[in-house]
Chains A and B, each alone.
Chain A
Amino acid sequence: MPFGYHGRWLEVDLQTASAQEHELSKEVLCQYIGGVGLGVWLMLQLEAWRWAALEPEAPLALVFSPLVSSPLTTSAKFAVVGRSPLTNRINDSLASSTFALVGKQTGYDALVLRGAARELSLVVVEPQGVQVIPVPELAGCSCEQTQAEVRRRLGPEFAVLAVGPAGERGIAFATLSHQGRHAGRGGSGAVLGAKGVKALAVRGQQRVRWARPKVLTQLARKLAQLAQGPQTAKYRQLGTLANMAVFNRLGLLPAENFQKGSSPAATALSVEQLQPQTLQVRESCQVCNIGCDHRYTLQEDQPGVRLEYESAYALGPLCGISDPQTVLWAARFCDHWGLDTISTGATVAFAMECVQRGWLKEPWLQFGRPEALRRALELMVRRQGVGELLALGTRAMAEQLGPEALAIAPQVKGLELPGYELRRLPAAALAMAVATRGADHNRTSAYEVDFSPQPPENDNELVQRLIWHEDRAAVMDSLILCKFLRGVFEDFFASASEMLWATTGWHFTAGGLHQVARRIITARKLFNILCGWQPQEDTLPERFFTQGTSTAGPLSRQRFERLKRLYYLQRGWTPEGWIPWQQLEHLGLAQFGLLCTQEAETSEPLGS
C-alpha cells in the first residue's frame, strides 16, 4: 500500500447491491494525485462519456486524496466527479468535513456508484461490505433531516452524504450535502437522485501511513500558522460576503440577470451592513482553522443561515432583491432542499428577464419582488407550473424559449455564471469560457489576474498567468486543499511538493506538478471531446458581446477570440481547441484518445 493512499477504489453496483474492489497503481496516483484529478481518470477509465448524466449506468465518483486525514489544515475534503446533467460534460465539485475523513477510513481512495437502486435507498459502505437499504420513508426529507435520521438509525460513527428533495426530483442543479456543506455545482445531486440513492453512509477505521510523519507535523504546524495570517483575514473576519460592497462599488456585481453591473440591493446585503446586525456565529469545517463559515440570523429561535457571496449575489441583486431576510430565507431554502444557490438564483433571474421581455407569460415573476422569488423557488422544487421549466436550468429552459432567450441565458456550457461582471474582467471571462465544467470561478480564480496590482503587459502574459492559476487550481483540487489558502504560499508548487513528499514519499518538482496539472486539465478536455464537445461551446452568453451595462461596455469579440486562440496554443492544443495526438501521448492519455477515434471510425488525429 503506497503511503497516503489505500491503493484501491470500490465500485458499487446499486442494482445488484454488490461491490467490486479495483487496484490503483502507483503510476496512476502519481499522475493524477487524487480529488478531481483521480476523478477524471476514473471517468475516462470507466468510459463514462457513453451515458447521459442521469442514465443509471452513468458512474458517479466520490474521491478522496492523499492529504485527507493528515493534520494539514483544510485537507478534510472530497471531490464528486461525474457527468453533469446541466452541461452534459465533465463535472467536479468539492465538499468538506467529516465525510472525507470517514470515507477514506473505509479503506478506499474512491467510491464509485453505478446502476440504480430499485427504490429510494440508503447505501452503506463499510470495510466489511456494502448494503443498499430501501428507505422510501425518507422521500421528501431535507438534507439535514436525512443525515440526522440516518445517523440515528446507524449510529453516530457514520458520516452521511445526502440529497434533498431537489435531487430526488431530478432538478438539474441539485446538490449533495454533508454537514451543511454542499458539493454544489453541476447537479451531482440529480445524478445520485436518478440512481435512487437518498443518502450514502460511510464508516471505517482503516488508516493510511504517512511517508514522513514528523515532517508532516511540522508542515501542518506551519500551514496552520499561515492560515491565521493576513492572507486569510478576509475569510476569517468577514467571509466571502465581503465581495458584495466592493464588487458593487467597482461595477462588477451582476444585477437583474446581467443587465446591470451594480445594484442598490448591495448595500443592505453587504457584510458591512449585515454583520453588525445579524451575524450569529462563525464556524469551521473539520480540520480547518480558518473558519470562513459566517451564519446570519433569519429567526431568533433557529440556527443561523450560511451566506456566501455567491449565494447572496444570485438570490439577491441578480434577481433585483435587496431584502436580507428574503435572501437569507432563499439561502436556507436551497440548503434545505439541496439546490445550488448560484444556479437557482440565476435561473430565476433569467426567467424574470424572459417575463420582462414578454417571452414567458408569468406576470407575477418580476425583478425586485421578494414574493416572486419565494413563489418561484416553491414552484421549482415542486416542479409545478413554470417550476417545471425552472427545474431545467437556464440553457435547457432557453432552448425551449428560442434563440433570443439563449443569447441572454447566464450560462457557459449550461452551467450558470457566478457573480462576476465579465465584461470588465478579460482574464476571468476567458477562463469561464474555456473551463471544462462551464461557467466556473473555482477552477481558475483567473479574476486574480484582473485584480492584480501588476496587470499583464500584453495578452500573451494574460493568458500565461491565467494558465498558471488554472494549473494551481487543478493541483489544489487534487491534493485537496481549500482555495482560501491560495494566498498564503510564497511558492505554491514548492509547498505542494513538500506536502506530497511528507505524505506519499514521492518527489515532485514544481515543473512535475505543473505537468500533473496539465494532464488533469487535458484529461477533462478529452472527456468533454469524447462527450461531443465542439469549439463553439467555449464562449460566453451572446449579450456580453453585444450589450454593455452602465459600468461596462460589451466585450470585444475580436479580442476574446484572439485570447482564446492564445489560450489553446499555450495549452499545447490546436488553435481551435482540439488536442493533438502527440500531446495525448506525452501526457499518457493516448489510450483514451484512441477510443475517441475508434468511436468516430476515423484515423484522423483527435478532433483536428
Chain B
Amino acid sequence: MVTVELFGTARLCSGVSQVEVQPGSLQEVLCQLEHRLPQLRGVCIRQGKLLPGYMVNINGQRFTRDPHYRVGPGDVVLLLSADAGGA
C-alpha cells in the first residue's frame, strides 16, 4: 500500500490527514485519492493531476509533480502546497 498524507488546504477541506491507496504512477495514486476524497477535486487535484500551486513529496525526500512518477509499495506521499516557503 501507499500512504498519502494530506497537509494544509487538502486536510482542512477533506477533514482527513492520511489515506491508504494502491501503488502505481503518481497520477493513478492521485486518481484513487480523488475518488476517495471528492472534496479535493478542483481544490488541489483534477483527474489525477495536481493543480497549480500543489506538489507532492515522496518519502520526505524528493519533490515532484510528475504524473508518471512510480510510487511503490510502502512509499509515503505528502500532498502539500508548492510554495513551501514564507516570505
| A residues apposed to B, CB below 8 Å | 229-235, 237-238, 240, 242-243, 245-246, 249-251, 271-272, 275-276, 308-310, 418-419, 441-442, 445, 447-448, 451-453, 455, 482-484, 486-487
Contact = CB atoms under 8 A, between A and B. Distances in A.
B66 A453 contact: yes
A455 B62 CA distance: 9
A455 B66 CA distance: 13
B52 A234 contact: no
Contacts of B5: 249
A240 B84 CA distance: 9
A250 B59 CA distance: 9
Interface in B8-62: 8-9, 11-12, 17, 51-55, 57, 60, 62
Given A230-B51, A234-B53, A453-B65, A245 B7 contact: yes
Contacts of A308: 86
A419 B84 CA distance: 12
B82 interface: yes
A233 B53 contact: yes
Contact of B53 (A230, A245, A246, A276): A230
A515 to B, nearest CB: 24
A243 B84 CA distance: 7
A447 B64 CA distance: 15
Nearest to A276: B12
A233 B8 CA distance: 11
B9 A233 contact: yes
B8 A242 contact: yes
Interface of B: 5, 7-9, 11-12, 17, 51-55, 57, 60, 62-66, 78, 80-87
Contacts of A455: 62-63
A455 B63 CA distance: 8
Nearest to B9: A237
A573 to B, nearest CB: 26
A445 B87 contact: yes
30 contacts: A229-B52, A231-B52, A231-B83, A233-B9, A233-B81, A237-B9, A237-B12, A238-B8, A240-B87, A242-B7, A243-B84, A243-B85, A246-B8, A246-B78, A246-B80, A249-B60, A251-B60, A271-B12, A272-B7, A272-B12, A276-B12, A308-B86, A310-B86, A445-B85, A447-B85, A451-B63, A451-B84, A452-B63, A487-B53, A487-B82
Nearest to A442: B87
Nearest to A418: B86
Contacts of A483: 87
Nearest to A446: B85
Contacts of B83: 231-232, 234-235, 487
A453 B64 contact: yes
Contacts, number: 94
B11 A272 contact: yes
B7 A249 contact: yes
A234 B80 CA distance: 9
Given A229-B52, A230-B51, A246-B80, A451 B8 contact: no
A277 to B, nearest CB: 12
Nearest to A231: B53
B81 A234 contact: yes
A275 B85 CA distance: 19
Contacts of B52: 229-231
A240 to B, nearest CB: 4
Nearest to B8: A242
Given A230-B53, A452-B63, A453-B64, A246 B84 contact: yes
Nearest to B53: A230
Contact of A246 (B7, B66, B87): B7
Contacts of A276: 12
Given A249-B5, A272-B8, A484-B87, 11 more contacts: A229-B52, A234-B9, A238-B9, A238-B12, A242-B7, A242-B81, A243-B84, A251-B60, A448-B85, A451-B85, A453-B64
Contacts of A232: 53, 83
Contacts of B53: 229-234, 487
Nearest to A487: B83
B84 to A, nearest CB: 5
**Interface-central residue, A229, A452, A482, by most chain B CB under 10 Å:** A452
**Interface-central residue, A231, A441, A451, by most chain B CB under 10 Å:** A451
A245 B8 CA distance: 8
Nearest to B65: A453
A483 B54 CA distance: 18
A230 B42 CA distance: 11
A250 B60 contact: yes
A597 to B, nearest CB: 38
Given A246-B80, A249-B78, A453-B65, A234 B85 contact: no
